[in-house]
């Protein structure tokens, strides 16, 4: 384990919604130090306070107020050990690729590389074992890399649900079927986001691409790694015990916090009781917390006993939004067990995941200071 102190980091897409969240969290970090900020050519050359339309609840951190924003090119970030990407998907691919090629460790919130067969898709409270794919990613890159790599975190709605699913699979073995209905906050659409005329007094029963993301990403995250005859590792997409997922996604008039109603069927018969499920969720701990990642929550899953919890307004900021809250665990008459999970989409569903992933990489010696 590396003694992590003073690790210089950069933020790409620093003026956007996710970039602002990265900055707000990193400004308080125990060993990450913001060294460079990147944004579009329109913002480059300006002090950060002049380039950003700041929408966070706390003031712009003093450490970055007068920091000059750079264009998103590797030469401006060469002193950084880690680069966090809050870039929009329409520009993230080529930029993140360039930073990896320049031997920088990229931790991305964008979707562009999530389906890459050599890029780990990591929810840090679930599948840190997938970091073992990094050497292969570096070896297969042309030219081969020594330090550069890309790690992605999952879609915000996937992240919230996959944490309790992982806890249940650890305790009771494979899940074979899962039905998910989401009620997703408007902040998930970025700023300015959903039109007020569309969301006031309304629910929008469609979020483009969201259902497909949940159904596919969950398999990559919960699946393991296999090794072929050629010695190459591959993500097995949960094929050893096929998992069928049906997701329905809705946008609701809540600012932050994705709420999801989940029903699961276990391969094991008879299935666990609701009480056994509550106990397993409460007992679940992550490797990230165990090794001392400072942003990892002590309670990966907080289980509510009250019949009307979790609720976004009351529960989204518990543990700074770094874990998830589960309630209403009960028997399902169609599958086996059903419950409600709440995840803070702008914390563990976005920047916080990337930061914990980077903390894990530093503490495991995968990234140097």
**Is residue 301 one of the residues assigned to a domain?**
yes
* Confidence at 4, pLDDT banded by 50, 70, 90: low
Cα gap 220→89, rounded to integer Å: 20
For 228-249, what is each residue's pLDDT tens digit? 999 999 999 999 999 999 999 9
Active-site pick, 72, 76, 118, 156: 156
Q: Are residues 61 and 116 in the same domain?
A: yes
**Is residue 255 one of the residues assigned to a domain?**
yes
Residue 241 CA to its chain's centroid (Å): 24
Q: Are residues 144 and 182 in the same domain?
A: no
Cis omega (within 30 of 0) on the bond before 270? yes
325 among known catalytic residues: no
Longest dimension (CA), the chain: 63
Domain encompassing residue 115:
7-155+351-364
For 279-330, what is each residue's pLDDT tens digit? 999 999 999 999 999 999 999 999 999 999 999 999 999 999 999 999 999 9
Identify the CATH number of the domain in which residue 178 sits. Answer: 3.30.360.10
Q: Are residues 151 and 213 in the same domain?
A: no
Active-site pick, 118, 130, 238, 258: 258
Residue 265 CA to its chain's centroid (Å): 25
Mean pLDDT of the chain: 96
Q: In what helix (H) or strand (E) does residue 362 lie, and over which residues does it extend? A: helix 352-363
Q: Of 290, 341, 287, nearest to 318 (Cα)?
A: 341
CB-count burial class (<10 Å; 0-12, 13-18, 19+) for 102: middle
Three-state DSSP class for residue 102: coil
* Confidence at 18, pLDDT banded by 50, 70, 90: very high
Q: Are residues 196 and 211 in the same domain?
A: yes
Q: Quick check: 3 pLDDT over 90?
A: no
Confidence at residue 200, expressed as pLDDT on a 0 to 100 scale: 96
Give me the number of domains the chain comprises.
Answer: 2
Q: Are residues 277 and 300 in the same domain?
A: yes
Identify the CATH number of the domain in which residue 67 sits. Answer: 3.40.50.720
258 among known catalytic residues: yes
């Amino acid at each position: 384990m590396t003694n992590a102190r003073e690790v210089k980091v950069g933020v790409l897409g620093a003026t956007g919604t996710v970039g602002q969240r990265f900055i707000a969290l990193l400004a308080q970090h125990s060993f990450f130090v913001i060294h460079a900020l990147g944004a579009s050519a329109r913002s480059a050359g300006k002090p950060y306070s002049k380039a950003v339309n700041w929408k966070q609840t706390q003031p712009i951190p003093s450490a970055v107020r007068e920091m000059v924003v750079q264009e998103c090119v590797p030469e401006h970030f060469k002193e950084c050990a880690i680069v966090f990407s809050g870039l929009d998907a329409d520009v993230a691919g080529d930029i993140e690729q360039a930073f990896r090629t320049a031997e920088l460790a990229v931790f991305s919130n964008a979707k562009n590389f999530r389906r890459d067969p050599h890029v780990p898709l990591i929810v840090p409270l679930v599948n840190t074992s997938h970091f073992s794919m990094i050497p292969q990613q570096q070896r297969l890159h042309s030219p081969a890399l020594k330090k550069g790599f890309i790690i992605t975190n999952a879609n915000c709605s996937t992240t919230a649900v996959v944490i309790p699913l992982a806890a249940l699979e650890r305790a009771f073995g494979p899940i074979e079927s899962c039905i998910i209905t989401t009620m997703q906050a408007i902040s998930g659409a970025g700023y300015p986001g959903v039109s007020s005329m569309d969301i006031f007094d309304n629910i929008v029963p469609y979020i483009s691409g969201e259902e497909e993301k949940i159904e596919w990403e969950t398999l990559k995250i919960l699946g393991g790694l296999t090794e072929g005859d050629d010695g190459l590792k591959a993500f097995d997409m949960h094929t050893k015990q096929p998992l069928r997922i049906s997701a329905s996604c809705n946008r609701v008039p809540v600012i932050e916090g994705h709420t999801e109603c989940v029903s699961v069927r276990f391969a094991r018969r008879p299935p666990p009781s609701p009480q056994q499920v509550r106990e397993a969720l409460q007992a679940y701990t992550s490797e990230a917390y165990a090794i001392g990642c400072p942003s990892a929550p002590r309670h990966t899953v907080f289980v509510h006993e009250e019949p009307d919890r979790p609720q976004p307004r009351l529960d989204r900021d518990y543990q700074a939004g770094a874990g998830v809250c589960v309630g209403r665990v009960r028997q399902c008459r169609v599958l086996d067990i059903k419950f409600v999970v709440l995840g803070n989409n702008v914390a563990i569903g976005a920047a916080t995941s990337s930061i914990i992933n980077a903390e894990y990489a530093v503490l495991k010696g995968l990234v140097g200071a």
